[in-house]
Amino acid sequence: MGKDDKIKICIFAGGRGSATIADALLDHPRIDLTILVNAYDDGLSTGQLRRFIPGMLGPSDIRKNYSRMLRSESPSQVALRTLLEYRFPTPMDHLPAVEILAGLAQLSPSTGTPSEIASAFLALSLSCAQKISRALTSFLSYYTTQCIAGRHFDFGDCSLGNLIFAGCFRESSADFNATIRTFTDLERPSGRILNVTDGEALTLVALKADGTFLPDEASIVSKQSVSEITQIFLLRNTPSEKEILQLSQSALESRIHSLDSLSVEPLLNPEAKHALGEADLIIYGPGTQHSSLFPSYLTKDLGNTIALNEKAEKIFIANIRTDHEIQSETVDSLLHKVIYYLNEKGRVDWPSQQLVTRCFFQKVQDGIDSSGYVRFSRNRVQFRGTNLTESNWEGSSGAHLGGKVADEILALANEQAGLCLEPLPYMVSVIVPSLNEERTISQTLSALRLLNFAPLGVTKEIIVADGGSTDRTLALAQEEPSVRVLSVPQCRGRGHALRFGAEQALGNIIVFFPSDGEYEPRDLLPAVKVLIHNEFQVVFGSRAIKCVNVADRIRTIYQRNYLGYFIGHYGGMALSFISLLLHKRYVSDPLTGVKGFRRSAFRSLSLESNGLDLETEIIAKISHQGIFLLELPIEYFPRTKSQGKKTTVWDGLKALWALFRYRSRTYAKTVHRDTGLQRGGVHWNAPSIGQSS
């Protein structure tokens, strides 16, 4: 792989389950992403459209993935996304619906067209508007002939994008895969979408362990009993009521045999075969497994194609939480079904390690109710060669934090191909250490919550790492919305709290910010901006740069404590000069409480100090790893010892000693430079099939 080559990634996806992961991968300029879907969706308006146009598969997952590939930098693509995702209200009379479609087909929205549709259509590029015009003209022509034949279509809750797709289907001579090419050519997307199969219109059905027969895709995703779905099947025709009745009267094994005899193995799309054969990474995404993901794996020759690509990492990303169709499933059972279906239900026998090399699954955080999460049993893993990574992947409820998954994937690419691909920043984790700060904690957290990092293209999380407060600090922190509050087990100091908070962080930018009210939260914005846009991996906020008279500031803190004043005045200078002497790095404010890091740089330090000596350990290690440090001026509002100032002379002496300690230890080791992403989570290898862990 050349310096400027792109990493080729194929991800099996549904409509929304893999959305956050796909979004993060699509954003990276060095990733060439292909999203592989099946189109067996037959619920609600999609199912009605399939019945109205025989031979057409469901377009919804195609539309959803195409919409997320349209980028916000292009006004025409933003407008197209609005059009594709617009849904007609329910109920919707056919006459006004047809009038709206006819106006768009004539490139002149009618007076009855909703304003959001009219304005979006007028914002399209001329080429895109003309393509939509042709598609809707084709759909309306078909609709008219069906109306004459007495067949009508209910437009209520139907997306405009699905109707445009249906028009493209008619334009493409009912060739489903050709339709996808026509549809995704409306505006050039940032990735590629492929149907896994040759496009044959099949019906998805399933059988549950309690004998319940689920006759279509819509029933598979619907609310149902907790009994496990035993198997899924693809049939040429929707089962009749008579056939369903006959099935219900036979034993479970007999039902499985009957459905197997009726099953069809769809043929693999040649474009999908080529993409999988060339892929550097293949991802089995999360989502509605039995309805959206597993049906793709039933495709003939798919497992063979994946197994023969020996260079690719093949990653199964487990669902974080359960849904209607996997209530009784575990990570282990889902992984077993992936292998089973890729092996064509046992008709071929590819070893598991040639089909899945890695598995990412959720580590349920301490103190969180684990019910509703997809469970994992280390003792039940039976897949040789599958590397297992347990981590906290959860962003919002049940959804993967796409940026974190993308970071781990890029780290694998760096390992595998010897690359140095930088991750895209996606989240700032603000770590707030606390210990008996009830007077300032609420004000600090409120100010941090108001910080807006969105203009920098990242989100934020705030983590309070409490070191054992005995006052109301914890209770007050827990009252603040959107703040994660963690109690540090057996906390041994401020450094320990910071390290613990950073271990729990989801973001790939880590920022330290004290809870004592001495610092200005707005100063985090320029620090984070530097970490995102510049070449610096570490930023310190310096209290010394803006300070006119250091002596006056220290006198304010220590007042009549002359020994404290003397040590505070000259101790800080001593730390700076000894740092320069021992580590060839002059830092104007070594003990600043505001620090920011790229996560890869932070992890490379392998920090171990528990107190204020963590600050000078950081300086020593970044110096000898050759990591550049930028100091930015920040505001500082010192408080006195009587107001709760906790730093002592002993803390300063430990920080000073750390500069000497880590000089000798650092030189005793090989100098390490941060050359890319460091992989996170807990990793281990699984034993072979049939062995216990």
DSSP per position, 468-520: --SSSHHHHHHHSTTEEEEEPTT--SHHHHHHHHHHH--SSEEEE--SSS-B-
Contact 190/71 with Cβ under 8 angstroms?
yes
Q: Which of 161-165, 241-245, 627-631, 684-688 has the lowest mean pLDDT?
A: 684-688
Token duo for residue 308: 């023969």
For the stretch 196-220, pLDDT in tens is 999 999 999 999 999 899 999 999 9
Q: Give 192's strand partners.
A: 34
Q: Please tell me the predicted confidence (pLDDT) of residue 322.
A: 94
Q: Which of 244-248, 392-396, 552-556, 571-575 has the lowest mean pLDDT?
A: 552-556
Contact 590/615 with Cβ under 8 angstroms?
yes
Residues 6+ apart with CB under 8 A from 418: none
Band (pLDDT 50/70/90 cuts) for residue 238 is confident
Q: Which of 101-110, 124-133, 369-378, 421-430 has the lowest mean pLDDT?
A: 369-378
- Residue carrying the six token digits 């910010």: 513
Q: Please tell me the predicted confidence (pLDDT) of residue 459.
A: 93
Contact 295/18 with Cβ under 8 angstroms?
no
Q: Please tell me the predicted confidence (pLDDT) of residue 244.
A: 80
**Average pLDDT in the 351-355 region?**
93
For the stretch 561-592, pLDDT in tens is 544 444 444 567 778 888 888 888 889 889 99
Local structure of 673: helix, strand or coil: coil
For the stretch 520-568, pLDDT in tens is 999 999 999 999 987 799 999 998 876 555 555 555 555 555 444 444 4
Band (pLDDT 50/70/90 cuts) for residue 481 is very high
Q: For the chain, what is the mean pLDDT?
A: 88
**Average pLDDT in the 13-26 region?**
92
Token duo for residue 681: 């989570």
Q: Give 235's strand partners.
A: 203
Q: Please tell me the predicted confidence (pLDDT) of residue 672.
A: 36
Contact 317/358 with Cβ under 8 angstroms?
no
- C-alpha span between 56 and 166 (Å, rounded): 8
Selection from 162-171, 411-420, 632-641, 655-664 with the highest mean pLDDT = 162-171
Domain positions in the chain are: 1-38+270-295+306-424, 39-194, 201-263, 427-667
Band (pLDDT 50/70/90 cuts) for residue 392 is very high
- Total count of residues recorded for the chain: 693
CA quadruple 560, 562, 564, 568: dihedral positive or negative?
positive
CA quadruple 542, 546, 549, 553: dihedral positive or negative?
negative
Asked whether residue 283 carries a pLDDT value surpassing 60, the answer given is yes
Please tell me which residue, 678 or 478, carries the higher pLDDT value. Answer: 478
**Average pLDDT in the 247-273 region?**
91
Contact 107/124 with Cβ under 8 angstroms?
no
Residue 254: how many other CB atoms lie within 10 Å: 11
- C-alpha span between 612 and 658 (Å, rounded): 10
- C-alpha span between 591 and 111 (Å, rounded): 66
Check residue 87 and report its DSSP letter: B
One-letter amino acid at 177 equals N
Local structure of 237: helix, strand or coil: coil
Q: Is the whole model's pTM more than 0.85, yes or no?
A: yes
Q: Please tell me the predicted confidence (pLDDT) of residue 668.
A: 43
Name the CATH code of domain 1-38+270-295+306-424 (choices 3.40.50, 3.20.14, 1.10.1220, 3.30.565): 3.40.50
CATH architecture of structural domain 427-667: Alpha-Beta Complex (3.90)
Q: Please tell me the predicted confidence (pLDDT) of residue 400.
A: 94
Q: Please tell me the predicted confidence (pLDDT) of residue 384.
A: 61
For the stretch 596-617, pLDDT in tens is 999 989 999 999 999 999 999 9
CA quadruple 509, 510, 515, 519: dihedral positive or negative?
negative
Contact 16/36 with Cβ under 8 angstroms?
no
**Average pLDDT in the 272-279 region?**
98
